[in-house]
Amino acid sequence: MAVTGVPFDQAVTNRSGTRLGPRAIREASLLQPCDAPYGWGYDVLSEFAIADYGDLAFDYANVPAFPATLEAHAKGILEQGAAMVTLGGDHSITLPLLKAHAAKYGPLSVIQFDAHTDTWADDDFDRIDHGTFMYKAVKLGLVDPTRSVQIGIRTDNPDTLGFHILDARAVHGQGPEAIVAQAKAIVGDHPVYLSFDIDALDPAFAPGTGTPVWGGLTSHQAAVMLRGLAGIDLKGGDVVEVSPPFDTTGATAIAGAHVATELLCLWGWTRR
């Protein structure tokens, strides 16, 4: 397993700063290796070979070349037989990552934790935008929306493209255990890519992000759902949109570090 950082934030619609996300998440993760992750019953960091693969090197002044650079970076990792968890960066980075994973595994189920669906229509496939990447992923055949689920949504976008949406209100009303059971039923045994936008959490828990929306998930709800997803066929994942300049406490990066650890645990669960 390779953990890699992508310090890119030139596709945001509001506040920048997520280029500093990988560094902050790594710093916040310093306590993570000291004990086995709580509630899993095994220590993924001890039982598997997990390497920090460093950050993607790219020309910050050549933005149009960035997606292909990231896709090649991801393919290089996957071709070695390794899996990857990626630290963002803004959410646009997920599209090149999905391209690399779909090239190896075929069309994927996606579990997306987010305040936004990111399926706004955009048929200019040369544009890089953190709000349209999932639209393009569906149109390119990388993702099967009928076997995918978006959790925590709380912004309006009428065209869901067929995604199952379990919005924030459903999480609060039904409880995280019921939501995760529905999510597992939707993806079944299909290969899964999990993308966690930190703005899925309410700004009270993750203020350091570019497009915060009130009424979001609590840290507890996210932890229960991530742990409850054990058993899915996770092929890869990312945690994105951590923007340290907007959180002097570091709480958002701490949340991002915990999400990244849970992704490692989910990946290792079916491979022990």
CATH number of the CATH domain containing 215: 3.40.800.10
- Does residue 59 have a known ligand-binding role? no
How confident is the model at residue 251, as a pLDDT? 97
How confident is the model at residue 54, as a pLDDT? 96
How confident is the model at residue 158, as a pLDDT? 83
**Residue of 182, 188, 165 whose CA lies nearest to 225:** 182
**pLDDT tens, per residue, the chain with 272 residues:** 999 999 999 888 888 899 999 999 999 999 888 889 999 999 999 999 999 999 999 999 999 999 999 999 999 999 999 999 999 999 999 999 999 999 999 999 999 999 999 998 888 888 987 778 999 999 999 999 999 999 999 999 888 899 999 999 999 999 999 999 999 999 999 999 999 999 999 999 999 999 999 999 999 999 999 999 999 999 999 999 999 999 999 999 999 999 999 999 999 999 99
- Does residue 116 have a known ligand-binding role? yes
- Give the C-alpha separation, 92 to 122, whole Å: 13
How confident is the model at residue 126, as a pLDDT? 87
Handedness of CA 263, 265, 266, 267 (dihedral sign): positive
Query: How many structural domains are present in the chain?
Result: 1
How confident is the model at residue 121, as a pLDDT? 84
Strand-pairing partners, residue 4, are 54, 86
How confident is the model at residue 31, as a pLDDT? 85
Q: Strands across the sheet with 109-113, in order? A: 51-55, 2-6, 84-88, 233-240, 191-197, 109-113, 149-151, 164-166
CA angle 259/264/265 to nearest 5° reads 95
- Does residue 129 have a known ligand-binding role? no
Domain hosting 92: range is 2-269
- Does residue 156 have a known ligand-binding role? no
- Does residue 118 have a known ligand-binding role? yes
